[in-house]
Amino acid sequence: MAWLFGIARNVVADDLRQRARERRAFGRVGGQRPLEDDAIAAAQERIDAAAGARAVYGALGRLPPDQRAVVELVALDGLTVGDAARTLGVQPVTARVRLHRARRSVAAALGATADPTPGDGPDRPAPPEEPQMAEEALL
């Protein structure tokens, strides 16, 4: 039976030595647990996204109130431009113009070179030309 107590004493002593090594190592890293590469990349992405969000919110904050209201209703609340216009008590075309101007202002503030309005960029096909009448037809 004494051999069993000897084995138990050795196991407990090994455990105490391991815990002491862990405490010393933990003290060396200042209480911070080491991060894996994936966790570091995810943290960097969150930091970059937060910086981008701050820039967007700053640009939105500098918009005139009427433009900011349309952007908030459309982008944040998910309303259509027509619903936003009814909410604001303006014509739908007025709301579209305000939204377009707001998007341009935000893009300019963020230093974007692309047109933020879908379908309005350089890839958009040219509008159809008006039919031109030949001078002979006018005579």
Phi-psi region of 31 (alpha: psi -120 to 50; beta: other; left: phi over 0): left
Look at residue 92 in the predicted model and tell me its pLDDT: 93
Mean pLDDT, residues 2-23 taken together: 83
**Each residue's pLDDT tens digit, 90-139:** 999 999 999 999 999 988 888 864 445 554 444 444 444 444 443 343 33
- What stretch of H or E contains 1? none
What token pair was written down for 6? 């000897």
**Each residue's pLDDT tens digit, 54-96:** 888 888 889 999 999 999 899 888 899 999 999 999 999 999 9
**Each residue's pLDDT tens digit, 14-48:** 888 999 998 888 777 765 666 677 877 888 888 88
To the question of domain 65-113 being in CATH 1.10.260, the answer is: no
Per the CB < 8 A criterion, the answer to whether 85 and 92 are in contact is yes
Instruction: Return the DSSP state at 72.
Output: I
- Identify the CA nearest to 104 among candidates 94, 89, 117, 122: 117
